[in-house]
Amino acid sequence: MNAAFDQERRDVPMSECTTWRCGGVADLLYQPGSLGDLSTYLASLDGSVPVTWLGRGSNVLVRDGGMRGVVIQLSDPLSGIAVDPPEVQAQGGAPCARLAAATAAAGLRGLEFLAGIPGTVGGALAMNAGAAGSEIWDYVHHIETLDRQGDVHRFRADEIEVGYRYAQLPPGHGVVLGVFHLQRDEDAMAARQRIQELMARRRETQPVAQASSGSVFRNPPGQHAAELIEAAGLKGYRIGGAEVSKTHANFIVNDGQATARDVEALIEYVRKAVADHSGVQLELEVRILGEDS
């Protein structure tokens, strides 16, 4: 057991646990020290207690009323990566960027796009994260999950229905391990070079120095949400401390003072304005969790 991490805390502000840096408190936040600790903890919970799995808190907005029940956040003790070509194993709490770097260093190609995704492997698998024309489930061999009773389940890639920013995991399951099969790159430096290029492009086109969740809306088929938002004249539009990024219109940034209500109100405003301007109904990519204040 890793005592430094195996802990349950009460009334934890979700502004500390999400990349938007806003939101109310969670009744309980649990950070497991090991897979065994997590399994035991889940088995000890009453079945009526809500459980929410959280990675690094990107791609989510927690409302100002906070979250009931338990939020489980996989942290350092469950962030291991093991590379044995062509197989790569990554625990659910491993940062996506570290997985991209580890596979590139081993001369393996395919997961370079993860370098620009500010989440964890578990979260990326749960939403089929993607960038630069690739998606994480393109490379999955199998995953392992924990259910509400703390039991481990293994699923082959072809047993999980996936789509654009979507993976149909069994209800209540959290991803604790992803296993990938990758191919060697003939040029051992090529993957590292691709990561450098992707990160340079990200710095140029995204508000990486500001608090945000990443892309707010899904790209409609054949279109780009950012272009639709910009065409509606919304770059720089603000509600409270939330602003449509001047760098990338599909990002909403927190100037340090935004409430979750500011962010959600701006999301609603953008959706209506784009629908009025272009007739396109934007769908959320971020998940909105918790209760209103």
What are the tens digits of pLDDT across the range 170-190?
999 999 999 999 999 888 788
Rounded distance between C-alpha atoms, residue 83 and residue 72, angstroms:
26
* Number of other residues whose CB lies within 10 A of the CB of residue 202: 17
Dihedral angle sign, alpha carbons of residues 6, 8, 13, 19: positive
Residue range 225-231: mean pLDDT, rounded: 98
Q: Strands 60-62, 287-289: parallel, antiparallel or unpaired by DSSP?
A: parallel
Residues ≥6 apart with Cβ < 8 Å to 105: 192
Give the CA dihedral 210, 211, 217, 218, nearest 10 degrees.
80
Name residue 238's beta-bridge partners.
Answer: 243
Q: Regarding the domain delimited by 79-203, which CATH topology (the fold level of the hierarchy) does it fall under?
A: 3.30.465
Q: Is the model's pTM score more than 0.85? A: yes
Whether residue 201 contacts residue 112, with contact meaning beta carbons closer than 8 Å, is answered with no
CA separation, residue 251 to residues 139, 223, 260 (Å):
27, 16, 15
CA–CA–CA angle 208, 210, 216 (5° rounding): 80
Residue range 251-262: mean pLDDT, rounded: 98
Provide the pLDDT for residue 110: 94
pLDDT at residue 115 tops 70? yes
Task: Return the percentage of the chain with pLDDT > 90, whole number.
Answer: 89
Provide the pLDDT for residue 223: 96
Rounded distance between C-alpha atoms, residue 215 and residue 58, angstroms:
10
Per DSSP, 220 falls in state P
Provide the pLDDT for residue 5: 57
Whether residue 227 contacts residue 289, with contact meaning beta carbons closer than 8 Å, is answered with no
Whether residue 137 contacts residue 119, with contact meaning beta carbons closer than 8 Å, is answered with no
Name residue 211's beta-bridge partners.
Answer: 254
Residues of the chain with CATH 3.90.78.10: 209-289
Grouping H, G, I as helix, E, B as strand and the rest as coil, residue 275 is helix
What CATH number labels 209-289?
3.90.78.10
Residues of the chain with CATH 3.30.465.10: 79-203
Rounded distance between C-alpha atoms, residue 53 and residue 161, angstroms:
19
Provide the pLDDT for residue 131: 87
Active site residues: 165, 215, 285
Residues of the chain with CATH 3.30.43.10: 7-76
As assigned by CATH, the class of the 7-76 domain is alpha beta
Provide the pLDDT for residue 1: 45
